[in-house]
Amino acid sequence: MLIDTYGRVATDLRVSLTDRCNLRCTYCMPEEGLQWLAKPDLLTDDEIVRLIRIAVTSLGVTEVRFTGGEPLLRPGLVSLVERCAALRPRPRISLTTNGIGLARTATALADAGLDRVNVSLDTLRPDVFQKLTRRKRHQDVLDGLAAARAAGLAPVKINAVLMPGLNDDEAPDLLAWALGHGYELRFIEQMPLDAQHGWRRDGMITAADILASLAARFDLSPEGADERGAAPAERWLVDGGPGRVGVIASVTRPFCGACDRTRLTADGQIRNCLFAREESDLRAALRSGATDEEIAGRWKRAMHGKKAGSGLDDPSFLQPQRPMSAIGG
């Protein structure tokens, strides 16, 4: 098991497949993009599958989520999903994507064994989408969502980040639209993971802001801690249900005490927290001939030292040097 000194057990593995992305979201990276990882630094498909196999068969991981950057940019993604689905015990497999390219790959991914998707969509307005992402791809995301639903990748979840002066008035409209299309909406507080380090605590839209905006139009009933478990989102029934909305409040309502995640970066580093400033190198172990047992031992040690919390509520908090695109969401 991947257990830390506070008794938390990591069963949810987030695997970043690439640091590259075809959008330039203002809360993630600068308009000109970043210096991408060199291909030799990236884990190969075989290395990724080997590490997932070790996690599933030896370390108690039960859920694998492929992330990025943008994971749909990874050649061979369908094959990776298929190989992961063939593991025994079979993990639950999901994907976090910006949705661009999902319209042409959703069916193949579902056939390969993908269980569900999370798609980022911050606005219903194409002009605001262009301002937020610096790309004219709004309809591609909508098409990707529809394709995921048609392929049975349910529940199709939408991740939305609200930014002051851009889309901070859209929470109720986004929720009404998501409910009408059968999607599950999650609002995510903007986190200090942008490459340009422009995040400001006093400039973010908080969970309290989001809930106040939603409550002006909808009746929200909290689901409660028993239903939430280790999930990052607090959820509310909307107008008595069955529709739900979630809020992931990593900054103002941290949920570190129930965290069950371990993270593998595209270049083979283990991160025991999204906001960690240290990493443990598994790529070097893989390429130096380490056995499965040795790799599992390194992974256990990396997770054992996990801190009690992210430190976001500490005035001395320092943002991770690596941006979200390199870490994986």
Q: Known binding site: residues?
A: 14, 21, 25, 27-28, 65, 69, 96, 120, 157, 191, 256, 259, 261-263, 273
Contacts of 210 (CB under 8 A, 6+ apart): 162, 171, 187, 247
Edge to edge, the sheet with strand 184-188 lists 220-222, 234-238, 244-248, 184-188, 157-160, 116-120, 92-97, 63-67, 12-16, 261-264, 269-271, 280-281
Instruction: Give the integer Cα–Cα distance in Å for 271 and 183.
Output: 30
> Which segments are annotated as binding site for S-adenosyl-L-methionine?
27, 69, 120, 191
Integer angstrom CA distances of residue 313 from 27, 91, 206:
20, 34, 14
Task: Give the DSSP per-residue string, 75-118.
Answer: TTHHHHHHHHHTSSSPPEEEEEE--TTHHHHHHHHHHHT--EEE
Known binding-site residue numbers for [4Fe-4S] cluster? 21, 25, 28, 256, 259, 273
Distance CA 110, CA 149 (A): 10
Extract the tokens encoding 311. 């430190």
E-strand ranges in 162-233 read 184-188, 220-222
Annotated binding site for GTP: 14, 65, 96, 157, 261-263
Find where tokens 């064994």 sit.
113
Query: Quick check: 305 and 241 in contact, CB under 8 A?
Result: no
Distance separating alpha carbons of residues 251 and 313, to the nearest angstrom: 7
Distance in angstroms (rounded) separating the CA atoms of residues 158 and 185? 5
